[in-house]
Amino acid sequence: MASTSVFKWRHFLPDIILLNVRWYCRYALSYRDLEEMMQERGVQVDHSTINRWVLKYAPELDKRIRPYLKPTNDELCYYID
């Protein structure tokens, strides 16, 4: 996902976009929490912009990372008749 064509014509750096999308998907943070965290780091970004990033890039990030995740509870999946 690091290719620049995915982030072409974006105002923010791809690292900032991916950081916000990853933090939102991984931790229980709101868009306003992320907005505040970015302000503390000197990046002015609105919470609605972060929302648009998550809607656009989260499915693509999930699709690209899914093959590298280890399956969980494989041996515990039994069907009870």
Residue spans of the domains in the chain: they are 14-68
Establish how many alpha carbons lie within 13 A of residue 57's alpha carbon, considering only the half-sphere containing its beta carbon: 26
Nearest-angstrom CA–CA distance, 52 and 14? 14
What is the gyration radius of the CA atoms in the chain, in angstroms? 16
Report whether 38 contacts 44 (CB < 8 A): yes
Q: What is the tens place of the pLDDT at every residue in 25-66?
A: 999 999 999 999 999 999 999 999 999 999 999 999 999 888
Tell me the pTM: 0.77
Q: What is the pLDDT of residue 71?
A: 79
Query: Which tokens in the block code for residue 42?
Result: 């000197």
- H-only helix segments in 1-81: 14-26, 31-40, 47-65
